[in-house]
Structure 1
Amino acid sequence: MPAPHNPFKAAITSGKPQLGCWLGLADSYAAEISAGAGFDWLLIDAEHAPNDLRSIIRQLQVISAFDSHAVVRPTIGESWMIKQLLDAGAQTLLVPMVESAAQARDPVRAVTYPPHGIRGVGSALARASSFAAISDYLTTAQNEICLLVQVENNAGMEALDDILMVEGIDGVFIGPSDLAADMGFIGNAGAPEVEKTVLDAMRRIVAAGKAGGILTLNADMQKACLDIGATFVATEIDVTLFASAMRAEAARARKMLGDGRQE
Structure 2
Amino acid sequence: MTSSLPPNSFKVALRDGREQIGLWASISDPSVGEMLAGCGFDWLMLDTEHSTIGPAEVVTYLRAVATSPVAAVVRPPWNDAVAIKKLLDAGAQTLLVPFVQSADEARAAVAAVTYPPKGIRGVAGVTRATRYGTVEGYAARASEEICLLVQVETRAALEQLDDIAAVDGVDGVFFGPADLAASFGYPGQPNHPEVQAAILDGIRRVTAKGVPAGLLSLDQPFLHEAKKAGALFIAVDVDAALLRRAAVSRRAEWE
TM category (shorter chain) comes to over 0.9
Q: 3-state SS of the aligned residue for 1:225?
A: helix
Instruction: Check whether the contact 1:2–1:141 (CA below 8 A) recurs between aligned residues.
Output: no
- Rate the CA distance shift 1:22–1:44 in 2: closer, same or farther, 3 A: same
Q: What percentage of aligned pairs have identical amino acids?
A: 44
Size of the aligned set, in residue pairs, is 253
2-structure distance, mates of 1:84, 1:187? 32
2-structure distance, mates of 1:227, 1:3? 35
TM alignment of 1:88-237, pairs within 5 A: 88-122=90-124, 124-237=125-238
Q: 3-state SS of the aligned residue for 1:202?
A: helix
1-structure distance, mates of 2:59, 2:251? 33
Name the counterpart of 2:81: 79
Name the counterpart of 1:250: 251
Instruction: Check whether the contact 1:19–1:41 (CA below 8 A) recurs between aligned residues.
Output: yes
2-structure distance, mates of 1:58, 1:121? 22
Tell me how far 1:129 sits from its aligned partner.
1.1
Letter in 1 for 2:103: A
1-structure distance, mates of 2:229, 2:102? 24
2-structure distance, mates of 1:232, 1:66? 19
Provide the alpha-carbon RMSD of the alignment.
Answer: 1.0
Tell me how far 1:248 sits from its aligned partner.
2.1
Name the counterpart of 1:258: none
Per-residue deviation, residues 200-234 of structure 1 (Å, max 9, x unmatched): 00001101111100001112211111122211100
Consecutive unaligned residues of structure 1, counting only runs of 5 or more, are 256-263
Q: 3-state SS of the aligned residue for 2:114?
A: coil
1-structure distance, mates of 2:177, 2:93? 25
Tell me how far 1:251 sits from its aligned partner.
3.1
1:5 aligns with 2:7: yes
1-structure distance, mates of 2:240, 2:28? 10
1-structure distance, mates of 2:123, 2:55? 19
Name the counterpart of 2:22: 20
Q: 3-state SS of the aligned residue for 1:128?
A: coil
Per-residue deviation, residues 66-86 of structure 1 (Å, max 9, x unmatched): 101000001101000111100
Tell me how far 1:246 sits from its aligned partner.
1.3
2-structure distance, mates of 1:111, 1:181? 29
Name the counterpart of 1:34: 36
1-structure distance, mates of 2:42, 2:174? 16
Letter in 2 for 1:79: A
Tell me how far 1:250 sits from its aligned partner.
2.5
* Structure index of larger Rg: 1
1-structure distance, mates of 2:100, 2:75? 13
Tell me how far 1:173 sits from its aligned partner.
0.1
TM alignment of 1:58-77, pairs within 5 A: 58-77=60-79
Tell me how far 1:2 sits from its aligned partner.
4.4
Consecutive unaligned residues of structure 2, counting only runs of 5 or more, are none
Q: What is the TM-score normalised by the length of structure 1? A: 0.94
Between stretches 99-108 and 130-139, larger displacement belongs to 130-139
